[in-house]
Every structure is written in structure tokens, then in C-alpha cells.
Structure 1
Amino acid sequence: MDDEHDDRKVTRRSNDECRRLAQRTKEYYHIGRTWPVNIGRVLRCGKILTVRGEKPLIYRVVPDAVLGLKDARTELIDGSVVITTRQSVGSSLLWGDPRTRMTMAHELGHGVMHAEEGAVDHRATGATGTTTISKMSASESAEHQAKVFASAFLIDDQRAAELATSMDIALEFLVSGSAAEICFERVQAQREREAAAARVMEENKKFQALMKTSQEKNYHLQAFCPSCRRQTLLPLGTKVGCNGEGCGYIGDHPEDN
């Protein structure tokens, strides 16, 4: 599905910001690190925390013909966020269909981020979340933002990073294969970035240690320590000091004697 009529420009938000809003929403519903998320219970709880504050939440299931080719829609009516879905979609949600779960989490994302008087956000049957607007400016696309929100709301990244394949993610969180694959690629990339950063830090530590050793060798005097008889004397102003292990000698320069 690639239809600009099913998308609109909204306030610019990065993917990370959309994920943070999804986590805030999970905390609001006291879900925490619980999975699979019971999205049906969330939709029926009667309230929602939007970016404009807490509002009543109304979830409606209507005959398929009412929405036509749209699986669901989200709008603000008289101060309440209203999420409406087709009967067939509502039925699929009851038995945990992965794509339907993503669809309804997607609509919840619209409710949290985009619900405003006069604006209607649709989820078209067969939609992929890719639209003309999202291709040109994903951070301003309502559909792209809702897509990112839905994935973060249903998938726990910490747990996903422990799983071996995208299929494992799909089964663990009851999400669509495409959503699981996108998440898997993202957490793998994050893992690789963290590993690369750790390697850089380790190499830096080795370099610093090498430089310190080199500097100490360069500063050591040719004379031997009168106490431990090692070539470990360092200049200390008009005096010298020994940094040999277990020594600690401080005194006059041997060559002055």
C-alpha cells in the first residue's frame, strides 16, 4: 500500500522519540516488561495518555461495510479518542492474530500522538506503513510514527536482543514477520555498535597504558636508586623519587653526591 491519502504530515518526531512515547504508554497502562501485550484489554480500558494529556478512550467494533477498505480509524470526537475497527479485525484480535495486533497497536499510537479534532487516521487493509509522505520525510509521517510506536509497544527490545532470529521475535511477542524482522535488524545493529564501541574503548585503554609506560621510561634517569638499586628514578624538582614497586625513595640526585 503506497497511498498518500492514508497518511498526513504531523509534528516531527524521531524514531527514538516514538519509542519513548510507546514506553511511556506501557508504563501508563502498568504493562512494564510483560508480553505478549494484551492490546485488547488496553483498548477497552477507557482511558489514554496522549501527548496533549489524558483523555477518555472509546473502542468501537463495527460491521465491515462501515469502514469499507479500512481496517481501523482513529479520531478525536468531543474530547475523546475514538478507535473504530471492522468486525473481522476485532474478531482476529480476540485470537491473537499477529498482524491484527500490530494494526491495533498502530491505532493506539495514532491515539497517543496524533488525535486532534477534525483529523482522522486510517489503517487501510493490506497497508504496510510505507507511503509517499513516509518516503519523503519519515519523521513527519503519521503512518511511519505509528508503525514505530506499534513495534515498540508490543516488543521488548531487551528480550528481543536475546533471541536468535526474527522468527523467534515474532513468536515471542505475537507480532507480524515484517515487524519482527525490522526489530531484529535494529537490535542486531545496536549490538554491533555496542561491540564496536567496547573494542574502541579497549584499544584506547591499551594505548593509554602504552603511552604511560613509554613516558615513564623516557623520564627515568640513568642513575640507579640508592635504595632499591633499580633504574627507576624520576626527577622531582631538585630531588628525585623512585617509582619502583615497594620502594618509594625520595632524596638528592645521586649525581650530586
Structure 2
Amino acid sequence: MNALSYPAVDTAADAASHRPLLDVSGVTLQYKTRDHLVTACYRVDFQLFQAERFVLLGPSGCGKSSLLKAVGGFLAPVEGAIRLNGHAVTQPGPDRMMVFQEFDQLPPWKTVKQNVMFPLLASGKANRREAEEKALDAIAKVKLTKFANSYPHTLSGGMKQRVAIARAMAMEPDVLLMDEPFAALDALTRRKMQEELLQLWDDVRFTMLFVTHSIEEALVVGSRILVLSPHPGQVKAEVNCHDFDLASTGSPAFQSTARRIHTMLFADEVEAQGSTGA
């Protein structure tokens, strides 16, 4: 048996007959600046089922990262509710692990293996032997076995992000939260990481909530996409994209769907320009 043992669900359609794993209902998020109270998103609803790859897509400032932080328990809604497995989300927990865009989340004095083991030991979820077993299994799944004893400063940006993913996956969270994890990578490395993420999902079938502002990435990585309007973010549409992958990016269906989402995202801006004669 693999050290990483997520429940297997063949398709989102299979899961749809069951209750949602994550239920975000009427959520409004706000934060304070020096002079203003800013509404990041307004009355957002969505449900995430086990083993789905769900993407929050929208322009900068639409509140998608704020929504991810709220699901992680780092930001409390001023309106609405977030429930995981039927329980209200009120604080961070090991059932939701976050992968950030930045590469500086790895303590530089710990090896790859030690970095992956650390949250398992700190949370008390595993003893040292169990933590090492789970860490090595996760490291193997992200294809870094040869670098298990290397330090972060010797790794490329893509390799560091693989370590961050392995560290989160080793905890076997109910939901893996990914905040534009590949945005800082060059185009070729980003595409490679998308490919490896999808392969990892095929192997493990984890549940993922992924944030991006790239339409192509959303269509490749996601099985469903929630399209958010410009600030404050509100739900514009939900798009099913089960049939797309990296090999289909040049297909007419992929390009047509991408254009449709682009129109959704920028319809408000075009309308505003038309009303002002711009």
C-alpha cells in the first residue's frame, strides 16, 4: 500500500451524487486598508466534491486568493459560511494544506526530506519513522528522490515548488489549496509543472482548489472553473472542462472555450468603455 492513501473517486460525476466535501455559501470577504474598508468578493457560492480539480479564475483583485485564504481558515467571512465535511471552517488545520507562489517557504537549513517531514512531526500526525516513510513516498511522487538529502539553495525554482507540493501532499489533507503556484516560473517550467501536477492527480486522486489568472492554465489544470468578475469578485459562471488537457490546447473546442471565458472576464470592461464612448 502506498504511504499516501487518498480515497479514490473515478470522476467528479461519481462524486456529484454525494454531499460536497467543501461548501462555500454566500461568502463576502473584506479587509481594511489605511483609509478604506475593501470588499474583496461578494456573496460567492461554490461546492467542491472529493477528487475534483476546482479552479478559481479571475483578474487581479477579484478576491480569488482571499477566498483561498478563507477556505484555509486564515480569513473570516463577514457574510456567509464555509464548511468542510459539514463542519464550519473557523481556523487553519492540517485538513487544508496550502502551496504558495513564493519559493521561500522552505527552511533553508533543512534538507528536502526534512522539509517534507517537518509538518508531519510538528502536527503530531506521525512519529519519526512514519514521517520519513510518508516524506520519501511524497518525494518520489514528485520525482525528487535523488534530491531527498539536498538543501533548497541547490534546487531550481520548479524543484522547490515540487518540494512544497510534496510537503503538502504528505499531510494527506482533505483539500490541497494552491495559490498561483506556478506563476513565478518560466513558461517551459510552468508547463512541465502543470503536466506533473496532472500526473500526480492521476496517481493519487486528491482534491484540489487552485487559483490562477491564466485562462489556459485554468482549462488545463481544472475539471471545473469558477469564473469571477473584476473587483469585488462575484460569480459570473461555472465552466466544465473535464475534456481538456495539455494535449488539447490547440484544439478548436479548447480555443472556443478560452474565448468564451475571456469574453466573460472582460464583458464588464467592454460595456463600460462602450457607455463612455471610449
TM-score, length of structure 2 as denominator length: 0.27
Structure possessing the higher radius of gyration over alpha carbons: 1
Q: Which structure would you say has the larger RCO, counting Cα contacts within 8 Å and 6 or more residues apart?
A: 2
Higher helix share: 1
Higher strand share: 2
